[in-house]
Structure formats: C-alpha cells, structure tokens
Amino acid sequence: MHALYRVAALAALAAGLAGCTQTTQSESTSMSGSTAAAMRTGSPQDEQACLTAVAQQTNNTVTVLSSEFSEANTLVMVGVGPNRAPWRCLVSRGIVSEVMSMVNEGAL
C-alpha cells in the first residue's frame, strides 16, 4: 500500500513541477513593420533605443530578434535587412553602450 502512495505522491510532484517552466513569448515589432515571435525580457524603451542605433549604423530595416534583461545592460539581438543579419546591442535605460555586427565579415 505504501508503494501506491509513493507513486501517487511522485505523480503529483511531477505534475506540479511541469507547471513551473514557462517561456516568455511576444510579438516583436520592427521598424520595417513586420512581426515575429521572439524571446524578450528587455524593456520596450531599451529595444527601441537599440533599433534606432542599429538602423542609424546600417541604414537598413531592423527587427528585434530577442532581448535579455540584466541589471548591468540589456542584450538586444537585432536582425538587419531582409535576411535579418544578426547584430548585438547593449543598452541600459534607453542609453546604448555598444552596437556590433555578429556576422563573420571575413567569410564574405
């Protein structure tokens, strides 16, 4: 009988833990007007600051691919152009500290 209680308890525990995992998905917006699902925990203010900074450097359409909040800097990954070439942007409270292409330009 104890084995039956153990199985029931383990099943309840597993069901409870299954509900603990959650991912955040939302619609990403771009300066070109397209949308796509992306992992985003950065603020809209930081994402917009990065979109503006990358667009100014590339003179091309840009889209937020993902954003990851950190107390030091938020990392925003931006897709550039129709192929969404990856760019990295570090930003905090709307102030961009770094913009960098992630494309291996030596391989082009």
User: Tens of pLDDT along 67-101?
Assistant: 999 989 999 999 999 999 999 999 999 999 999 99
Output the six-digit token pair for 32.
């070109």
Q: Which residues contact 80 (CB under 8 A, 6 or more apart)?
A: 54, 58, 60, 61, 62, 86, 87, 101
pLDDT reported for residue 20: 38
How many angstroms separate the CA atoms of 35 and 64, rounded? 9
How many angstroms separate the CA atoms of 80 and 88, rounded? 11
The whole-model pTM stands at 0.63
